[in-house]
Every structure is written in C-alpha cells, then in structure tokens.
Structure 1
C-alpha cells in the first residue's frame, strides 16, 4: 500500500481501541477532552486519550482557540510502554489543509481506505475564544501563583496603547491631501473602538478570575463542563501512569479529582490523606464516571479548615445514624437488641461515609451466607451512592466466608496482611470488620486482638450466647445474650437480615424472605409468614437454603457474590435454586443412605447414641461436609435416640435434640482420657478436637459425657 509512504500528508480516522495500535508519526483527527495547566487532553477514540503538552504548541496555551468537544488534528509522537500517548502539534487544523484522509482500523477490513472529506474546500477551522478550563496567567498552576499582571490586563493595556499610538500618529500626520482629515477621523474612531474592545475583554477576564461557586459533590451530575469549587477531606490519593487521582469527600458524597504534572509524577505532593482542602476545577464525564479536572488544590488551615471539618462531622453524624430500628417481623430476641442494632448500623454507615473498606466475615454455611449476604445487600447501594467510581462496590466491600465458624489467627492474619498492604500501597484506611456468627466465643479472641492491635474496628453480630471476654474486644457487639431475653429460636441469618434492614431500610423488602431461608427446621411462624408474603413459600425457602448450602461448600473461601445474588435475590422463577438444590439432595441423600447403613448404635447408660466413623463410611473431601452430614443424620433419625456423634481422624461433631454444653462435654471427657488432647474448638458447631491416636477412647468418653449432661 503506497499510501503508507505519505502518512505525513494525510490525516487518519482511528477506529481501534488500544494506544498500542496507533502509529507514531501519523496525524490523527481527535476531539478535545479537557484542559490542564500543562496541556490539552485529546480523545482519538473511545478510551484512547493522549496529551498534547504545552511545550508542543506553537503558541501560548492560554491563547489556544480550542474548546472542549472541538475536532482537532494532532500528531502521535510516541506511545509509551504504560499506554500514555504523547501528541505533537499540527499546524494544519482543517481537513482541506491535508492532501487526503484514510481510515486506521487495525482489526477491520476498512484499514487504509480513503475518506471523502465533506469540507475539502471548507477553509480553516473557525477561531474561537479561550476555552473554559484553559489556564490564564492569572490562575494558579499546581498550587503556585503566577506573578505580574494578568493576561487580560496585558492584552487590554497593549491594545489600548496601540490605539493611542495610532491616534497620536494621526495627529502628527501632515494633512496635505483632501483625504487626510478623513484618515485622522478613521484613526480616532479605531482607537475608540479598540479601547472599548479592550475594556470588554478586561471585564470578561476579570469575571473569569472570580472564584467559582462552591458546590457539593452530589450536585456535580448537573454541572458537567462547569468550573466548580469543592471543600472537603482527602480520603485517598493514588498515582496512575498519567495523573494523580485524589478522592475528595464532602458532606454529601465522594468524587475523584485528577491532577496532572506529567505522566506518572505525583501532583501536589504536599497534599496527604486526611487533609482538609479547597479544590477548584472543571467537572468532566470520563468513561461514564464523573471526575473533576483539578486547576487549583489548596490545603486549608485554621478557621477555614475547622469550618469544613465541622460541616463534615455534623453531616456524617446525621447521615450515619439510622432514622429508626424496625425489626422485619415480631421476634422478642430481635426487639431486645434494637439499640445494639442501631449502634452496629451506625458503625457500618459511618464506614461507608468515611470511605473505609468493610470486610464481612461469616461461616461458609447456609445460615452464615444468609447473614453475610443480607448485610452486603444493604451496604452496596450506599457505597454506589457515595462513590462515583464504577468499581467502588468491589473496592470498599469484601465478604470473606470462613470454613470454620471461628475467627482465629489464620483468618485474622490474612485480613491484617491485606489491610496493611492496601494501606501501604494505596493509602487505604483500615477496614471495619464485621464478624457475623463467627466472633462471639473465646476461640476468636486472638484474632480479634490482632485486629485491635492495628486499630481496626470490629462489629460482632451473634445470635448465640457470646462469651464475656468478647465484650471488651468488640467495638460494637450485637447479641441477645447481653439482654434478659431468651434468644432461643433466633438464627444468625435472621439477626443478620434484621441488621441489614436497619442499615438500609430501602432494601427491607429484598431481605424479608431471608430469615426463613436460614432455618433448617422449626422456622418461627413470623418469619415463615413474612417469606410467604414476599412470594416465597416453604418449598422455595427450602430450595434456596439447600442451594446456598451446596454452593457454600464449593470454593468456600470465595464470596461468589454474583452467584449468591442470583440465588437469593434475582431468581424470580426459582429455576436456578431448583437446579442447584436438586444436586444438593442427590449428593446428601446418597451420603446419608450410606452413612445410615453403617451407623453404630451404642447403649450408653441406658440411652441410645448413634455413632458414625466418617473416615470409613463417607467421602470426607466431597459434599456434604462432616458437620452437615451430622446434622442430616440426626434430623432423619427414625428412633428417639438423644444424640448423634460423627467422628473423623481428629475431630468429632455432637448433635443432640436438646441443648448441650460442648465445653462441659469436652472437659468431662478430658478428665476421663487425659492423654487424648480433647478440646472444644468449634462451639457453634459442637465440635471437639482430639489426638487421633486416642480416638476410640475419646469417642467413648464424649458419648458418656453427652448422655450424662442430657
């Protein structure tokens, strides 16, 4: 294709989607995207933007006759490894000034085809006034005040002076011809007109130098392409391959503000997270997201800072506290903890408003998933409302299931490592950690303590009784055991759903069926009725429970956010839940059938206890997990045996018809088998660990201790 040798004579219409597809040296048609003190951003295609640095211009930036949205021609000089595009000036700014036009379509059949110009003879691009967003000499550049008279004053003075010179020259001119007098009159008239024009220009520039109106972040959607002033707090700063992005929070919301010195160089290095600032800039819409192109960023001090801080604090307190605490249904245990729910909701809402990441920890069980997903459902809309970034809901909320219903050192070390890395690399605040049904016992003390060492806030939500030692380790604690009300019949899923409704009342209807989903049996009538009203009968809630239980087992350490959302909230016809729950029943029924055929029925002090060796008569590394198998075996028992014990290599699970204190059981068994290393480690699961070498003696001792307690 011989046209390639004449790239410098034609302009190209770029139809690619990556900077790497551009050809350095070619001239491209683009669209002015925005201005900064250092140059002009030009879009060459959707998502492909280059910088025409002011050093590349053939004139002063403030005298450039471009406006946002203008069609312009630029030369691609270089495409850097990080994707940044360096643009060069083109003296030709009209299609008619080029010898032709071609398509640059890297992945298409039209690549290289000529373009018929619609204005080949249309002449040069019209001259326009200085664009909104282009800096003038009177404006600050990267926080530094320019010296001397303003560009408007200089222009006015020079124009008026030129007019005076013309008038003086006309006075000195000898009127030797009949046209001399007319020439003098024209000169005087020109001087008068020039003076008027200069005064108008001075007035216009003076008006442009007036401070922009202070607005709130939540109003920026109506102010695209306008210059505004924001006052707020820097809650984050990150350096991209191009500009520095500051996250600015005011009393209404958060927005990204871009400031550019040169590619990859930190703008305003003196500005840090937590600073109270005043920011002037232009509101732009970039790839569907609001962003402010920073013209001036100032750290406030003294009374100015105090006024902004007070405004933010008052707004935060007002927005964070829920208006009311309304339980989803009548339940004494929930009504007894309404104040605690309000405190927990305020802590969660405050974290959102402060742009503090939130980590939700829950057990990888159906009950745990219901509780965690309910809180997630409530918080995500608040994050979307607070942050303009499209990925904010993934950035500021993480739900991390736990294989064991214990927040031990392993989980805590994982969370602390992540939060310290995010703080060091990205300047993120330390997270708020919500422990739903997994942080209420002494098994979690070490993990909670590690979070406390680093000052991370901890909200513990547990329907079961919590150990007294947890009270001092939790920043906020929600548990009916702190009241005089009997919490029997309250699941963690039901408590988590009620908390979600308090955090965000707008999603209460979305959560109304979740409490019923969390119960394997003995669902409180109030929750069953609530689910029925929402369109979820007993079969639908059962299918959801079974589907969540199955999916909780696979990839148990992953949140599976989208899949869980589809199952719990978006599966309107029940097709997805029905499909997954069918797999649940098939797998569970097969395993239970095998287990029932191999259950050993022991007579312990006149009571029948079912005992199963899960190592020998179940598939330990396939669904269902041992704890769920123990649940199913006990629920499906045909006789009236009081207890079921399912044991594996070095752990066992106790299931009883009445409540049993597994710690007391472990203590009694430990006295009987002191060499067995018996410890109750999973109070919520009634799980006991032991040394595998003493397994037979341990199982006998635990069975006797259980019957003795019952």
Structure 2
C-alpha cells in the first residue's frame, strides 16, 4: 500500500483500518483514515486502529485540530523504536478501502516462548471468573487452555456480552503469572457466523485427537481384564475430553483400600494431564476433587453436598458443572436416588466398579459403566486393577509408579484371581515383598478410618507411594499405621470373640453371629464391617469348612461367607419384598455385603436372612472376597 496506489481511473486509495489492525497492516507511503486522539504543543496524535497510533508534527500542517477530528494522513516513517510519523494530505477524488487485520493466530502451547509479545488467539470460552480486579476468561484452543485477563474497572465485568461456550478472538500481551502464563487482553471479539463455525470445526477436530487415550499394554497378561480395555479406553477418552473442555471432575470412591487404589492413580494421571494442557497453575485445584464415601454406594447426604458445592463453584467461579466419576461404587440400585437428583442438572456420570451391578436401574442415568459382571466376570477383578490401567491410558508416564498398586488392591479386597500371582510378582520386581503389600493395604484402611470424610491426599499418597518422592517416609509410615491397625484389631477381637454365637445350619455350614453394637468397641478402629470380617477370617482358619458370619447392630447387618453360594443382592431384594415394613436395603458382592433395616424389625429380618443362608448350596472351592473394608459404620 503506497501513495501511488489508485483505482482504474486514477483515484487515490485511502485505507480504513479495522480496529484490530496492527503495524503489520500498514506501510510507508500509504494513505490512511485517521482520528485525532490527543493535541500537544508540537502536533497531534492520531489513531488508525486500536493499536496503530502516531504523531502528526505541527510543522506538517497549518491551522488546528481537535480531539475527535477525522482526517486523511500519509505514513511517512516507521522508526526503529516503533513510533510512527504521519503527515496530513488533502486528496481530491479518492476511493476508501476497508482493511481487515490479517491475523496470525498463535497456539496456546507455544506462548511460553512469547512472553511480552502481543498475540492473537482464537478459541472457546470455557470459564469466566470475575475477580475483585479483572474479568478472567479461560480460553481453550486446539492446544491448551489459558486465562485471559480483561479489565474494565475494579470488580466490574468486562465484555458482559460474552458467555461460556462463545467462540472469541483475543488480542493481548503474554505475561508470566506465578508458575503459569496469562494474556493481558487488549481486544476481545465474539465471533459469529462463518468465522465462528470455522473455529468450532478446528476445535472439534483437535479435541477428538487430543482426547484419544494413549495405547498401552496391560501390566500383566489377563484376558478377563483386557477384554474390558475398550470400555476403559472410552472412559479415558471422556475424562481427557472433560479436562480439555475445562469441566471439573469430581471423584467419589469407596473409602477402603481398593477404592483408594482406584482413585489415587486416576487422580495422579488427570492432574498430570491438566498440568500439560492448562496454563493456569490453579487449574488442578479447580478441575479435580477426590472425595471418599463411607458406604459402598452414593448416599443422598453425599450427593446433596456435592451438588451444592458444584452450584456454588458455578456461581462464584464461572465453572461448568462437573463430571461425576464413581470408583468402586455406583453400580447398584441404591445409587439411583442420588443419580435421580443429579439428573436435574448437566452432570455426566461415569462408573467404574466391581460390585454386583443393577444395570437396568443404573444405566439410564450414567454415560459410561465399566464393571466386570457386564463381561461375564466377577469381583475378583478389583476396581483398583481396572483403574491402574485407566490411569495409564490417561497418562502413560506414571506407569513406573503404579506397578505395585494392582497387587495392593487385590490383597485389600482378598481377590482370589489367578492373576494375583502375576500382580504380586510384578510388585516384588519393584521391591515390594508380599508382606509389605499387605501392610500397605492395612495402613490404607487404618488411615481411611480416621480420615472419615476427608480425602487425606498427602498421607494417602505417602502410604500408597504414588506421586511422592520420599521412600523412607513411605516405609516408616506404613510400618507405623499397619502396626497400629494390627494392635487395634487384636484389642477389638479380645473383647468381642467371647460374644460370638455359633450354630450349625442344615446345610452343615457354620454360622457365627455377633452383636457388634453391644459387644465390640464403638467409634474406634476397626469399625463394625472390619470387625465382622476379622472374626470371619479367624473362624474360616479355625474350621477349614464353609463359614457364614453376621455382624449386626440395631439397624444393620454385615455379611461374610466362604464356601457357601450366596447371592446377597438377590437375598436383599427378596427380603425387601417378603418382610412388610422391614425397610430392607443394601447389597455388595455375591458373598459379602451389608444390609439396612428398620430397628423394630431386626429379629424378623435376621431370622429370614438366616433361613435363606441355610438354603444356599455349599461349594468347598468357592472363595469369598471377604472385603474387610466394606463397612457399615
């Protein structure tokens, strides 16, 4: 664009710059439409666009100008320091040509090398947070997510017309902020029509590619588990996509050893992925939260609290509503009331569990459901085993830190799968003796008991030795907690064993019963479920024969079985129908579980339960999971 530019009839061409144009869109000798933005003794300052300005020296014109006056200027010089010099021109016939900025769109993942530069970004708004100062727009493009700070005035919403999921173009300066980056916004435009569609198309294609999980080989060769890899890959893709969309992920997991062996690897993998894709150093804290559930299902108390916090975060921080990831629970009809509560909101639900499922009841509410029973397998495939593979699909570099975790999960849930031999051998190759793995499981259970509803992030990671770098602290902590757990169990059983009642069922199985409310220490470790499990284990060792153990309180019973073909979920369903007013509910695995009932119907429920157990077939080869951490506190 020069002074000689003209149309076919010789008219001069005056260029009218789009507000987004920069110095790259002008050149010396060109004629430009300008507006006076300041008057000084030595001339006037003029704007050609929002970022292109310069001086018209007083020696180049006669008369005077006022702020807001329009004129045509010629660009006479671009100095080395970037300053522009203009002269006013008086043209006769002329043609005005609109000039749009030729955007060089930057990628977010390249901005680390462009601190201090003015850049253009295009993408989708995934979060809007109003602070006491600027408005923070979190922008997602094909390569990542970055906060963009726009200032109107302190605490006032900038660009109020822009909403979450709008496609925008941002011009601003890349700035360092704590351990991340931020763009200081100079201009922000919502794109529409074809421009928006083009960006949306690019983002959709890139999102599909980036959400695709990594190809991984199983830690051990186990067809029963590897047949579930396609399901796990779909979950991995959904979780990665959720991170890329800046939707928070809330994990609810059973507060036992297997639940923690499931949730900790997934948490570690997702946090690494968040760090890779988000420039905001606070993203991990906002986008991921792990919370334990004492019951092996999603209670109304838990869902109400989760939903309340999610709605508050949406209102206060401009976040999307979260995806709910259920680990080691979430597969049963008992979860349905909580899911029905969430159904009023845009909260996807994903379940990875190994409890005996009620798919007809659950699956209308969930987006994905991974469970070994849906593949003709059973509880021997623990949730921890599945989730280690899931975590590796999300973020493979953590594999070396997870090789011992499936063995811990299997020992915690007493899995009798043949693959346990391979898992224990794999852990031993990493320096974990089988006795150490058992101690880790006991330490997890002991810590979870005292943490109650707290996730206990740091101590649990240290016990499991995932995401930590202090081996000595890990060993000493496990030794201490496992020792305390053993001592407390011994104290509990010393008091309780004398009160265990025994009878022989018609099937010839041993039945042991104990009132754990009145004949065991309360509000301490071990809780009723663990106490019942420890008593059961001792009786199995003593007799070497089929054993059923019931630990009961005023309104609950915990059930364990070895060598008897029980179907506890089915028994619970039958009891609920047969005992009017009993209020029977519960479930678990086939041979381990817990039930609840109204206190006034306890004797009727327990008597009917024993009758059903007496009718169950014996199987000397049947091994129970004896999940010692399926507690009913």
User: Which residue of 2 is the match for residue 662 of structure 1?
Assistant: 568
Structure 1 residues 159, 255: closer, same or farther in 2, change over 3 A?
farther
Deviation at 1:704, TM superposition (A): 2.6
Q: How does 1:56-75 map to 2 (within 5 A)?
A: none
- The aligned counterpart of 2:381 is 490
1:598 lines up with 2:499 in the alignment = yes
Query: In the superposition, relative to structure 1, how do residues 156 and 61 fare at CA in structure 2: closer, same or farther (>3 Å)?
Result: closer
Partner of 1:478: 370
1:636 aligns with 2:530: no
Q: If the length of structure 1 is used for normalisation, what is the TM-score?
A: 0.71
Tell me if structure 2 keeps the 8 A contact 1:235–1:274.
yes
Which residue among 186, 191, 198 is the counterpart of 1:300?
191
Match of 2:513 among 596, 608, 611: 611
The one-character-per-residue Cα deviations of 1:439-491 (angstroms, maximum 9, x if unpaired) are 1111111222222331311111112332121233210111222224x335211
Give the match's secondary structure for 1:455.
coil
The verdict on how the C-alpha distance between 1:588 and 1:138 changes in structure 2, with shifts beyond 3 A counting, is farther
- Structure 1 segment 40-119 matched on structure 2, within 5 A: none
Deviations along 1:528-567, one digit per CA (max 9) or x if unpaired, are 1221122222122112111110111123211111221222
Q: Distance in 2 between matches of 1:331 and 1:442?
A: 30
Q: 1:572 aligns with which of 471, 477, 480?
A: 471
Shift of 1:196: 13
**Contact 2:152-2:158 within 8 A present in 1 as well:** yes
Distance 1:589 1:61 in 2: 86
Measure the CA separation in 2 of the matches of 1:62 and 1:624.
81
SS at match of 2:479: helix
Out of 635-644 and 518-527, give the one that drifted further.
Answer: 518-527
Asked if structure 1 preserves the Cα contact closer than 8 Å seen for 2:75 and 2:84, the reply is no
Question: CA, structure 1 residues 207+273, in 2 after alignment: closer, same or farther (shift >3 Å)?
Answer: farther
Q: Shift of residue 205 of structure 1? A: 4.8
What is the Cα deviation at residue 697 of structure 1?
4.0
CA contact (8 A) 1:62 1:136 kept: no
1:158 pairs with one of 29, 44, 58: 58
1:670–1:311 CA distance, 2 compared to 1 (3 A): closer
Q: 2:234 is matched with which residue?
A: 343
Q: What does the per-residue CA deviation read over 1:374-419, in whole Å, with 9 as the maximum and x for residues that have no partner?
A: 2111111011112222221111001111110111333222222222
Secondary structure of the equivalent of 1:258?
strand
Q: CA deviation at 1:691?
A: 2.7
Give, in whole Å, the separation in 1 of the partners of 2:222 and 2:257: 21
Residues 301-450 of structure 1 aligned to structure 2 (within 5 Å): 301-450=192-341
Corresponding position of 1:622: 524
Q: 1:692 matched to which residue of 2?
A: 599
For 1:462 and 1:530, the matched residues in 2 are separated by 23
Are the aligned partners of 1:370 and 1:517 in contact in 2 as well (CA < 8 Å)? yes
Following the alignment from structure 1 to structure 2, what is the Cα–Cα distance between the partners of residues 583 and 399?
26
Q: Is the 8 A contact 2:576 2:585 kept in 1?
A: no
Of 52, 77, 90 in structure 2, the residue corresponding to residue 199 of structure 1 is: 77
Q: Deviations over 1:172-205 (max 9, x none)?
A: xxxxxxxxxxxxxxxxxxxxxxx99962449945
Partner residue of 2:6? none
Larger relative contact order (CA 8 Å, sep ≥ 6): 2
Structure 2 residue aligned with 1:75: none
CA distance change for structure 1 residues 600 and 200 in 2, over 3 Å: closer, same or farther?
closer
Q: CA deviation at 1:207?
A: 11
In structure 2, the CA distance between the partners of 1:196 and 1:418, relative to structure 1 (3 Å rule), is closer
Asked if residue 647 in structure 1 is aligned to residue 552 in structure 2, the reply is yes
Is the 1:325–1:338 Cα contact (8 Å) retained in structure 2?
no
Specify every segment of 5 or more residues in structure 1 that has no aligned partner in the other structure, as ranges: 1-59, 64-134, 142-149, 163-194
Q: Secondary structure, in 3 states, of the residue corresponding to 2:363?
A: helix
> Which aligned pairs between 1:15-34 and structure 2 lie closer than 5 A?
none
* Separation of aligned partners in 2, 1:265 and 1:139: 25
CA distance in 1, matches of 2:550, 2:270: 40
- Are the equivalent residues in 2 in contact too, given 1:216–1:230 (CA < 8 A)? yes
Distance 1:603 1:151 in 2: 96
**What is the CA–CA distance in structure 2 between the aligned matches of 1:136 and 1:439, rounded to whole Å?**
65
2:172 to 275, 278, 281: 281
574-583 or 409-418, larger mean C-alpha shift: 409-418
1:585-634 per-residue CA deviation (whole Å, 9 max, x = no partner) reads 11112112322222111233243211111012112211111111111111
Query: 1-side partners of 2:496 and 2:553: how far apart?
Result: 13
Q: Match for 1:559 among 446, 450, 455?
A: 455
Of 560, 563, 584, the residue aligned with 1:679 is 584
Residue 270 to residue 196, structure 1, CA distance change in 2 (3 Å): closer
Over residues 3-35 of structure 1, what are the superposed CA-to-partner deviations in whole Å (9 max), with x where a residue is unaligned?
Answer: xxxxxxxxxxxxxxxxxxxxxxxxxxxxxxxxx
Change (3 A) 1:136 1:700: farther
Contact 1:156 1:199 (C-alpha < 8 Å) held by counterparts: no
Distance 1:550 1:138, change over 3 A: farther
TM-score (norm: length of structure 2): 0.79
Structure 1 Cα separation of the partners of residues 77 and 273 of structure 2: 51
Larger Cα-atom Rg: 1
Extract unaligned runs of 5+ from structure 2. 1-36, 63-72, 87-99, 618-633
In 2, Cα distance between the equivalents of 1:532 and 1:474?
A: 38
**Is contact 1:666–1:680 with CA below 8 Å preserved after alignment?**
yes
SS in structure 2 at match of 1:453: coil
In structure 2, distance between residues paired with 1:704 and 1:487: 26
DSSP-derived class of the 1:305 partner: helix
The 1:482/1:196 distance shift into structure 2, 3 A limit, reads closer
**Counterparts of 1:457-468 in structure 2 under 5 Å?**
457-468=348-359
Indicate conservation of the 8 Å contact 1:325/1:342, yes or no: no
Give the distance between the partners of 1:546 and 1:419, measured in 2 at CA: 33
Distance in 2, Cα, partners of 1:61 & 1:627: 79
> Secondary structure in 1 aligned to 2:518?
helix
Greater share of helix = 1
Q: Distance in 1 between matches of 2:390 and 2:570?
A: 32
Please give the alpha-carbon distance, in whole angstroms, between the structure 1 residues aligned to 2:584 and 2:535: 24
Does the 8 A contact of 2:355 with 2:588 survive in 1? Answer: no
* Alpha-carbon distance between aligned partners in 1 of 2:170 and 2:109, rounded to the nearest angstrom: 15
Equivalent-residue separation in structure 1 for 2:443 and 2:38 (angstroms):
62
Post-superposition offset of 1:159? 4.3
Aligned ranges for residues 527-566 of structure 1 at < 5 Å? 527-566=423-462
Match of 2:397 in 1: 506
- Whether 1:586 and 2:487 are equivalent positions in the alignment is yes
Change (3 A) 1:687 1:284: same
Task: Answer yes or no: is 1:703 the counterpart of 2:599.
Answer: no
Aligned residue number for residue 10 of structure 2: none
Contact 1:214 1:229 survives alignment (8 Å)? yes
